[in-house]
Structure 1
Amino acid sequence: MGILNLTKRGVAIALSAQLVLATQAVTMAQAEMLGTEAAINKYAQHSDRSFLMGELQREDVRAEIVALGVDPAEAEARLAALSDAEVASILAQMEKDNAGADIIGILFTVFIVLLVTDILCLTRFFNFTRCVR
């Protein structure tokens, strides 16, 4: 009877130790501070990709894609396969290439053209210029 109690006691201790070790490994949590910029970047990447997908859904864009001979489903699949850096690069390119975005440059160019034509006596737009003749 002494051997049986000793065996039961040994098994109980071994199982208890195993249970304690197993629960300690599961309950150990890894926590770290998450910066605001990291959280914003995570959601901005999803927003950028969904913006480009929305642009692909527009009828005029789809018509242009089909006119170029590209299947819209294939274009969506390729857009989904792009990395976050590539999506950001595409959005930067789209922002830079907006039509009429450089209104100051356009106005300056028109001013210079009118000034030169006034100096060459082709027009009389500005009062402060004199003809070269």
Structure 2
Amino acid sequence: MGFLNLSKKGVVLAVSAQLVLATQAVTVAQADMLGTDAAINKYSAMANRDMLMDELQRGEIRDQIIDMGVDPAEAEARLAALTDDEINTILIQMENDSAGADIVGTLFTVFVILLVTDLLCFTRVFNFTRCVR
């Protein structure tokens, strides 16, 4: 019986030591306060990334990517590897470069062209202009 009690004590000590060491690694975690701005930025960055990924999944975009010789899976992997700042830069560039986005500038350009053609007697659109002839 002496040997059996001795081996039980050894096993109990080894298991106890293992449990103590295992719980020590878990209790080292630290918690910081998460501000509202940080939470909003985190979730907006995730939403921006998801929006770009959805755009990449569209049929027309996928066809254009394939026509350019790029594997769609590789494009998705590269998009997933971008940082939040790079995602924001891409979105700003997409916003600025979208076709027809500057409608006021387009209307002003059309107005100036029609005004000049009225002054040169090519058209008669505006009543307040006079021909230079």
Per-residue CA distance 1:49-106 (angstroms, 9 max, x = gap): 1111111110000000000000000101111111111111111111111211111101
Who is 2:15 aligned against? Answer: none
Aligned to 1:101, the other structure's residue is in SS state coil
- Which 5+ residue runs of structure 2 have no aligned equivalent? 1-19
Structure 1 runs of 4+ aligned residues shifted over 6 Å read none
Who is 1:43 aligned against? Answer: 43
**How far, CA to CA, are the matches of 1:66 and 1:102 in structure 2?**
30
- Give the drift of 1:45: 1.0
Q: State the identity %.
A: 65
**How far, CA to CA, are the matches of 1:34 and 1:71 in structure 2?**
39
**How far, CA to CA, are the matches of 1:53 and 1:31 in structure 2?**
32
Pair 1:125–1:54, CA change in 2 (3 A): same
- Give the drift of 1:37: 1.1
Who is 1:102 aligned against? Answer: 102
Letter in 2 for 1:55: E
Letter in 1 for 2:47: S
Q: TM-score, normalised by structure 1?
A: 0.76
Pair 1:67–1:115, CA change in 2 (3 A): same
Aligned residues: CA RMSD? 2.1
